[in-house]
Structure 1
Amino acid sequence: MALYDLVDDSGNVFRVRRVGSRFFKPSRQDFNEEEFVTHIQSIRSLPTSSDDVFICSYPKCGTHWVYDICQMLESKDVAKNPLRIFEFPREGGFESPVTVGSHLYPHELPDDILKKKSRLIRVCRNPKDVAVSYYFFIGENSTNDLFPYKGNWSDFFQLFIEGRLTYNSYFDYIDIWSAFEQEHPGFVHVVFYEHLHKDPAREIRRLGKFLGVDPSLLEDTVFIEDIVKTCCFQNIKDLKKIKHPGEYRLFVDRLWRKGEVGDWKNYFTVAQNEAMDRVIQQRLQHHDISFIYEL
């Protein structure tokens, strides 16, 4: 497995797979460099259908949480199977209809999505909480035993600011997806992580409407409140451990760490907060985005 090392200012290594200028997660699967590049490049030609749902986000923005809400809306039950990330090589591929997650840019996804009118959901989260969540997901103190990153929070913070991570820059991701959404108005349903915390019933109804759920169900207070209760962050985390025992149960604690809005305040120094604010101002000033940083 060919790997590429991103090195922080203290010399700690963050190991990735590289395809052109894009960085991807290393895999336990035995794919050599050529096979992996071919796989990534072939994604655009994969077939999709109008029933397929792609939940797209930068890492650690709430992809898995939104997936379970989608499953509850469509089947009235918590997902029986863990969310599959579309770009991870998988024997046998995917069969429609399917709901999958992805951290790719829109132009890296299958061309069929626009042609067949597959449904795109983009999950967005404030960059300060994303940075902290990402650090604990891949850091030495996580349960990541594949290629743990051994740098401290300050080392990681600089990698995040510079976009030298798996899936590259958070801010590039926002730029590219926002441009796509402007080019294709109404095609992408945007969900804000913080809004799901602040007013879950409203966001679940919005999501259900986009997915084509029966309008009478969306007006059913009992139905909506059941989803709100079942899919509250801590509850869904506990349910995942019950439904998916074994090795995946350990992975749940990485995917579902705290789920808080404002956890960044426990880790950012004053200087880091000021640095992040400058980057946010520089990179996002032309976007119509108003993040919530605490509740």
Structure 2
Amino acid sequence: MHKILIAIFAMLAITTSAKAQSAQDNRARAQYLAAEASYDRGDYEAALRSEEQAREILGQDNALLAAMRVRIYSRQGWVFSARDALEQFYQYDASPELLREIGQVENNLPAPSATAAFDEAVAANRRADYTLAARAYEFACESGEDHGCFGLAYAYSNGLGVEQNGERSVRLYEPLCDAGNEYACANLGSVYLNGGTMPPNYERAAHFWRRACDGGYSLMCWRAGDLYSNPAHGFYDATLATSLLAQGCELRNSESCEALEAIK
């Protein structure tokens, strides 16, 4: 494997002086070897960090680095990431030995699971790979993982990795809210107010924020109370607004306490 590494780095085009290029290659090689060591001891997050640093030092990808990502993702059970890395790997020239190794990894990729897909989506979000995250969230959701549905709903409401679609976001959030997820109720209210692809609906926003408040999400007590206390929205209810603000204050939300004090 180290002979392959040396050969690939030797093929890199020289863009600076020979001495500077040699130093750059040495730093990249050190990061790759660190990635390999982390991989061997099962520290896959550290391996990914070192692999990414090697790419940053080189300013480009290559077959060996892509192969490292394939190996790491396959060990983590992150099938969607592994498949993307495989596509990248096959774009580069690789030795017969490396092709055989990665071919075996590809043949042994596990079937995706709902839990692994959700974990993969979270990791993809952290590295701002929103398209892959949305794909993994969708698989997790369709496989019965509620957290995957929540993540996919958030992606649709904000246009992260998918085309923004407030209606689709609502359809995904509603069952979660009905099941007692106060954060889904809170986000539903936000979609109805700022859904992007839907006209604002203040009354629906207030309704779902109220449900989130009833579920213990104190900030939503203040937001719902604020909407119910404003006659301009067409559903003014001073009694309900006061009740919601009092509820939020009891839950130690400072905005609710301040608003409640202001209307006394």
TM-score (norm 1): 0.24
Higher helix share goes to which structure? 2
TM-score (norm 2): 0.26
Larger of the two Rg values belongs to structure: 2
Higher strand share goes to which structure? 1
Question: Which has the higher relative contact order, 1 or 2, with Cα contacts under 8 A spaced 6 or more apart?
Answer: 1
